[in-house]
């Protein structure tokens, strides 16, 4: 049951928000989903560190926000893009009117949505079968690759196992729990900062700027353990490096894991694409959960941190070559670029440069 709840929410929520949101605010609105995860992590770590609530009661209390969410979702409109695809244009307009400022001119947006929906009906690329189409494949590669590297960045290792890692290396239990709270707060603050700047800096640029910094933090962290500088006198330095890693990762690639899945796939394959991306992310998460502690025992704590630093560098190379800058692009424009075989960083930059010359 938990698997269905997590999988359903994480697959559909970002896609739904993206299909309702105006282009200019889509990134920020989709990322509020990620911010909510950060809030949950903070609450969970504080609850665990305080040890004032029995763990059975804490698990049961999770039903309360789920019930509130269910009640509020009953008032939400259908996706206007889905309605247009099903031929309900009047209902699509009504759905848009509910989430746009009163008096807004919706004719241009509705026309673009309708044209896109009509084109997809004749394209023959629907659902899971549509993901096999050659022109959709670049989006699938970027989406699933980013999802995998979101986990291979090492953030889940830090979130899940920091107390275990620290106590296994001689840190007091109280210190390990306080560090978990500090990391949870860092996660939330970094995501809020990333949320405030991502549409100005750009999704691709923010990710590429933060990945090398996260790798450096892991290299330094690994060096502490490999060289034996992991005693009590080094606690402030180790904690500071952990916080630095968390800030760069949570405020960078972690923001992108769900955002891309809500944008880059064609409408007719968007649900299947988001599902494939979600499966890639959670599959990698399971692999990390099952192997982190055994890997540390086999090669050492510091060497494991170095391994994840390499993953961050590989992620940088992959995204530099594969992921275009999607900031400010409508869902329809991204789909058109895919159909034209122009879904590459160079092609996006080249067309933007040409458009700028023409506008000038």
Q: 207: part of which helix (H) or strand (E)?
A: helix 203-226
% of the chain beyond a pLDDT of 70? 86
Check: CB of residue 82 under 8 Å from CB of residue 298: no
> What are the CA-CA distances from residue 243 to residues 16, 165, 191 (Å)?
32, 15, 13
DSSP summary character for residue 313: H
pLDDT band at residue 3, thresholds of 50, 70 and 90?
very low
Mean pLDDT on 57-83: 84
Q: What is the biggest distance separating any 2 CA atoms in the chain, rounded to whole angstroms? A: 68
User: Domain 9-76+123-348: what homologous superfamily?
Assistant: MFS general substrate transporter like domains (1.20.1250.20)
Check: CB of residue 331 under 8 Å from CB of residue 227: no
CA distance 249 to 32: 17
CA distance 63 to 59: 8
% of the chain beyond a pLDDT of 90? 22
pLDDT band at residue 360, thresholds of 50, 70 and 90?
very low
What is the model's pLDDT at position 158? 87
- Number of H helices and number of E strands within the chain? 18, 0
| Least confident among 34-43, 226-235, 345-354 | 345-354
- Write a three-state SS string for 6-64: HHHHHHHHHHHHHHHCCHHHHHHHHHHHHHHHHHHHHHHHHHHHHCCCCHHHHHHHCHH
> What are the CA-CA distances from residue 338 to residues 81, 147, 347 (Å)?
18, 19, 11
CA distance 143 to 289: 22
Closest CA to 224 of 169, 296, 287: 169
Check: CB of residue 70 under 8 Å from CB of residue 227: no
Half-sphere exposure of 301 (CA within 13 A, CB side): 21
Taking the alpha carbons at both ends of the chain, their separation in whole angstroms is: 57
CA distance 240 to 238: 5
In the chain, domain spans: 9-76+123-348
Query: For the whole model, what pTM was predicted?
Result: 0.75
What is the model's pLDDT at position 222? 93
């Amino acid at each position: 049951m938990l698997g269905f709840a997590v999988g359903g929410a994480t697959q559909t929520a970002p896609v739904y928000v993206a299909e309702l949101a105006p282009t200019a605010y889509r990134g920020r609105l989709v990322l509020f989903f990620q911010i909510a995860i950060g809030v949950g992590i903070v609450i969970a770590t504080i609850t665990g560190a305080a040890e004032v609530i029995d763990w059975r009661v804490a698990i049961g209390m999770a039903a309360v926000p789920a019930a509130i969410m269910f009640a509020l979702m009953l008032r939400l409109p259908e996706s206007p893009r889905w309605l247009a695809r099903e031929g309900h244009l009047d209902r699509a307009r009504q759905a848009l009117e509910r989430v746009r400022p009163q008096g807004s001119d919706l004719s241009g947006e509705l026309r673009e949505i309708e044209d896109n929906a009509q084109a997809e009906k004749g394209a023959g690329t629907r659902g899971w079968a549509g993901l096999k189409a050659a022109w959709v494949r670049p989006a699938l590669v970027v989406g699933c690759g980013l999802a995998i590297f979101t986990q291979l960045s090492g953030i889940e290792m830090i979130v899940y196992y920091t107390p275990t890692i620290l106590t296994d290396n001689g840190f007091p239990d109280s210190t390990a729990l306080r560090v978990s709270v500090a990391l949870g707060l860092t996660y939330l603050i970094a995501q809020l900062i990333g949320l405030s700047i991502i549409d100005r800096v750009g999704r691709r640029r923010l990710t590429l700027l933060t990945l090398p910094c996260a790798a450096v933090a892991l290299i330094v962290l690994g060096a502490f353990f490999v060289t034996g500088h992991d005693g009590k006198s080094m606690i402030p330095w180790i904690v500071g490096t952990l916080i630095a890693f968390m800030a760069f990762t949570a405020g960078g690639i972690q923001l992108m894991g769900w955002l891309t899945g809500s944008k880059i796939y064609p409408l007719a394959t968007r649900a299947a694409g988001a599902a494939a991306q979600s499966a890639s992310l959670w599959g990698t998460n399971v692999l990390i959960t099952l192997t982190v502690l055994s890997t540390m025992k086999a090669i050492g704590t510091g060497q494991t941190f170095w391994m994840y630093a390499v993953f961050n560098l590989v992620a940088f190379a992959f995204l530099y070559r594969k992921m275009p800058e999607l900031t400010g692009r409508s869902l329809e424009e991204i789909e058109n670029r895919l159909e034209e075989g122009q879904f590459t960083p160079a092609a996006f930059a080249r067309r933007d440069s040409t458009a700028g010359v023409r506008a000038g």
